[in-house]
Amino acid sequence: MNKNMRTAYGETLVELGKTNKRIVVLDADLCKSTMGILFESAYPDRFFEMGIAEADMASVAAGLSLTGKIPFFASFAVFVPGRCYDQIRTNICIPALNVKICGSSAGLSDFGDGSTHQSIDDIALMRVLPNMQVFSPVDAAETSQIVEYMAANEGPMYIRVNRNDVPILTPPEQDFVPGKVYTKREGSDVAIFATGIMVSIALEAADDLAKDGLQAKVLNVPTIKPIDEASVLSICEEVKAIVTVEEHSIYGGLGDAISAIVAPKLARRHVRVGMQDVFGTSAHSYPDLLEHYGFTPKAIKRAAEEALA
């Protein structure tokens, strides 16, 4: 079954808003896309349409948090954090305010609008900021869990969500634990750490690797910062090589986060699957774009074979 993360984001905020009157939502002229419109319809007095003014939106959210509100603000991930990085850094992260940020249509998922609307650097921008937690859910179910966590806990937090419907991989009985790395498939040869939609593609790659006698352990990493370092090290001790897969630049994201944990302590070959220091482009469909940039089972399989060579 497939479901949309953006819808899960909006629906979860509406549900939380029933009992938590402190929650307010801000949007930058894109509420029909981010699904902030669902909150606006339910609670119009707690929704703020800021127009195409992302920097102002971030600053207003900071001010609202100082009054005791729990502001969630959203736009396309290329615009938030891109157009308001200074305000996030100075007004939200330095004072560690209780502000929640959603980067919608993340990665290449806005396939039709090209490089100006595709965020290949948002994880890097948010991960480097002190006090900021960074989340990249695998599916709509995990998106809901993370939004619930964001609303219930203090401090600056960023979640990136895909524009398109994606497979549901989160079991109903699984709880979200920040920092936890979730095993989606066992294997002893190579560990494939993936985040977002790349987890489902990594699972397909693992099936293909198994046909050649190679066993891949597939991990879902929904929390880019912080990560359970002890767990990552334990996983990597049990395999011969590492692959990281992210719909983001190979610089500054999941690959760097895993490398920073493992490289000082273990000698493991590490191959990164991601945007290879290039911008995105327009395409007729999302699968076309994923194919073009190597976000496919075949490419991940090839990366695993290279890591094991």
Answer yes or no: do 243 and 292 share one domain: yes
**pLDDT per residue as tens digits for the range 236-279:** 999 999 999 999 999 999 999 999 999 999 999 999 999 999 99
Asked if 129 and 241 sit in the same domain, the reply is no
Q: Are 136 and 224 in contact (CB under 8 A)?
A: yes
Residues 160 and 218 placed together within one structural domain of the fold: no
Q: Which long-range contacts (CB under 8 A, 24 or more apart) does 292-298 make?
A: 293/108, 295/108, 295/198, 295/201, 295/245, 295/247, 296/201, 297/201, 297/202, 297/204, 297/205, 297/207, 297/208, 298/205, 298/208
Could you give phi then psi for residue 90, rounded to 5 degrees? -80, -45
40 a catalytic residue: no
Same domain, 262 and 285: yes
Domain count, the chain: 2
> Which among 155, 163, 156 has a CA at the least distance from the CA of 197?
163
Last residue of a domain, one of 167, 199, 233: 167
Q: Provide CB contacts within 8 A for 167, sequence distance 6+.
A: 1, 2, 139, 200
Q: Could you give the CA distance from residue 102 to residue 151 in angstroms, rounded to a whole number?
A: 12
Identify whether 175 is part of a domain.
no
Residues 6+ apart with CB under 8 A from 76: 30, 33, 34, 103, 104, 105, 110, 117, 119
| 114 shares a domain with 202 | no
Question: For residues 57 and 284, what is the distance between their CA atoms, to the nearest angstrom?
Answer: 32
Angle (deg, nearest 10), helices 229-237 and 254-262: 70
Domain containing residue 211:
182-308
CATH number at residue 272: 3.40.50.920
Tally of CA atoms within 13 A in the half-sphere of 77 that contains its CB: 31
Same domain, residue pair 263 and 235: yes
In a domain, 78, yes or no: yes
Please state the pTM of the whole predicted model: 0.97
**Cα–Cα distance between 237 and 220 in angstroms, integer?**
17
pLDDT tens over the chain, length 309 residues: 899 999 999 999 999 999 999 999 999 999 999 999 999 999 999 999 999 999 999 999 999 999 999 999 999 999 999 999 999 999 999 999 999 999 999 999 999 999 999 999 999 999 999 999 999 999 999 999 999 999 999 999 999 999 999 999 999 999 999 999 999 999 999 999 999 999 999 999 999 999 999 999 999 999 999 999 999 999 999 999 999 999 999 999 999 999 999 999 999 999 999 999 999 999 999 999 999 999 999 999 999 999 999
pLDDT of residue 1: 84
Inside any domain, residue 176: no
The share of the chain scoring above pLDDT 90, in percent, equals: 100
- The tokens describing 31, both together, are 């509420």
For residue 262, CA distances in Å to 100, 113, 256 come to 30, 37, 10
Strand partners, 198: none
Q: Of 54, 142, 246, 247, which is the active-site residue?
A: 54
Q: How many CB atoms lie within 10 A of CB 86?
A: 12
74: helix, strand or coil: strand
Statement to judge: residues 152 and 220 lie in one domain: no
In a domain, 53, yes or no: yes
So what's the pLDDT on residue 58?
Answer: 98
In this structure, is the dihedral angle defined by the CA atoms of residues 245, 116, 124 and 88, taken in order, positive or negative? negative
Same domain, 134 and 278: no
Statement to judge: residues 23 and 158 lie in one domain? yes
Identify whether residues 143 and 195 lie together within a single domain. no
Residue 272 lies in a domain: yes
Question: What are the tens digits of pLDDT across the range 23-64?
Answer: 999 999 999 999 999 999 999 999 999 999 999 999 999 999
Domain identity same for 191 and 159: no
Which pLDDT belongs to residue 250?
98
> Could you tell me which of 243, 239, 240 has the C-alpha nearest to residue 198?
243
